[in-house]
Amino acid sequence: MAKRTLSQLAPDKNLIGGKWVPDEDGMTLESRNPSDARELIGTFPRSRGGEVDRAVAAARAAYKTWSRVPAPQRGALLRRCAEVLAERKEDLARLMTREMGKPLAEARGDVQEAIDCANFYSGEGRRLYGETTPSELPDKHAMTLRLPVGVCGIITPWNFPVAVPSWKIFPAILCGNTLVFKPAEDTPACGAAFIKALSDAGVPPGVVNLVQGRGEEAGAALVQHPGVNLISFTGSSEIGKLIAASCGKTLKRCALELGGKNAQIVMDDADLDLALEGALWGAFGTAGQRCTATSRLIIHKQVKDGLVSRLVKAAKALRVGDPMDAKNFYGPLVNARQLERVERYVEIGKQEGARLLCGGKRLSAPALKHGFFFAPTIFDRVTPAMRIAREEIFGPVLSVLEIGSYEEAVEVLNGSDYGLSSSIYTRDVNRAYRAMRDLEAGITYINGPTIGAEVHLPFGGVKQTGNGHREAGRQVLDIFTEWKTVYVDYSGRLQKAQIDVTA
């Protein structure tokens, strides 16, 4: 398969009603390579309310016909989307690595997740099951149906610029909805390339619309638009609260997947080699820029000193640099703002009295000085009350907390405002099963790191990690469908539920 140019892969326009169109105001956003900010990836529209209005109108017009297409046919379209994404996997991965900085192997995995997602939901086109159930009255049939919600607003982050949109867009269109998609302003090229693949796969005009722009402009216009029936957002808890408040004013359906402060527990009976590998991958994979990243390491005091010593040595040995080079463990932070945020939290940790064991600074070697690289950072002597133990940093910073028992470990892990992912390393099967019950999180790993998800299982968390919905798996269908109850009375007479029922 021939490599595509950027314009062939990711048009620098919005997609509205099946046509690639420029922003009418001519405002633009720049996308730059975080490994070397001198490199301009491209310029994309900085759209605002007008483009959102047109995109919503196109989605509403398309909904009238798309919602009537049989679900198995919609599923067949998703199979074609999977095929196109597979053909473009390498091009998309390389674009992703250049635009947001994750290592090429991880970028390939990001695209593969979207392929897997399309294939999974293609099968759900023949399994949009409702239920039949006995009626309490004679000669009466009762059943439930799944029906589409309407026009969906999809707003996604930059850290998984193909996978996360696929979690939302594929089930949304499978269920018969149409949508307007606003990708993150840091990854507009990835967003455009993903939508171009769907368009080329045959998604009908108006079913999927793309509007580029900033969150406070295009994103806010989409959230507030009266023609949008549902908002699905992945991002920070702070922004999620604003979106929930806005949607609440009109009772608009709102699905939020928000922040995390994920912890890995290491008990005194753990396989320490395995726990070490898990902590390194969980804390420093993708430069810590995952909502499931391991931000806290809760270690039993009997094994803490030895494990932390080995962990610091291993962290110092990690190679950080050009994410196109397979020898590098992770690449840059996504932009200068994120780099500055991580630096601020390092200073906060020092001021709070935590002990900095390694890292704590940006990397400025000649090959890295034009990028946003930060060293693997580990703090010891962290207490649960410290901000670095409570607030999401979203960078390669790990806080170590010491505990003396399983019960204390659970208390420390659960003492967080967030509850996305959790992990425990232990050889005790009874303790492992107690952890499945006791840890307050939407995801619990036994003898594995906090990161990693599979598309056929529900994804999401508790507390300030979201508002109770789950993405991925069959459970996401409850976001993108309305349940309708149908009664068919063939008795030929008026029957009164409850009143006509005898004990």
* Active-site residue (options: 152, 190, 254, 291): 291
Q: What is the CATH number of domain 262-446?
A: 3.40.309.10
What mean pLDDT comes out for the span 35-49?
96
Give percent above pLDDT 90 in the chain: 96
**For 426-456, how does the pLDDT look when each residue is reduced to its tens digit (9 = 90+)?**
999 999 999 999 999 999 999 999 999 999 9
- Band (pLDDT 50/70/90 cuts) for residue 2 is low
Known catalytic residue at 407:
no
* Active-site residue (options: 217, 257, 392, 471): 257
**For 89-125, how does the pLDDT look when each residue is reduced to its tens digit (9 = 90+)?**
999 999 999 999 999 999 999 999 999 999 999 999 9
**For 366-405, how does the pLDDT look when each residue is reduced to its tens digit (9 = 90+)?**
999 999 999 999 999 999 999 999 999 999 999 999 999 9
Residue 501 predicted with pLDDT over 80: no
Known catalytic residue at 257:
yes
**Distant-in-sequence, close-in-space partners of 402: CB < 8 Å, separation ≥ 6:** 299, 300, 301, 304
Burial degree of 80 (CB within 10 A; 0-12, 13-18, 19+): middle
Q: How far apart are CA 416 and CA 422, in angstroms?
A: 12
CB atoms within 10 A of CB 19: 12
Residue 168, pLDDT score: 98
Q: How far apart are CA 490 and CA 497, in angstroms?
A: 14
Domain 40-258+466-485 indexed as CATH 3.40.605.10: yes
What mean pLDDT comes out for the span 156-165?
98
Give the amino acid at 469.
Answer: H
Residue 1, pLDDT score: 53
Residue 25, pLDDT score: 85
Residue 44 predicted with pLDDT over 80: yes
Contact 276, 449 (CB under 8 A): no
Any idea where the domains of the chain sit in the sequence? 40-258+466-485, 262-446
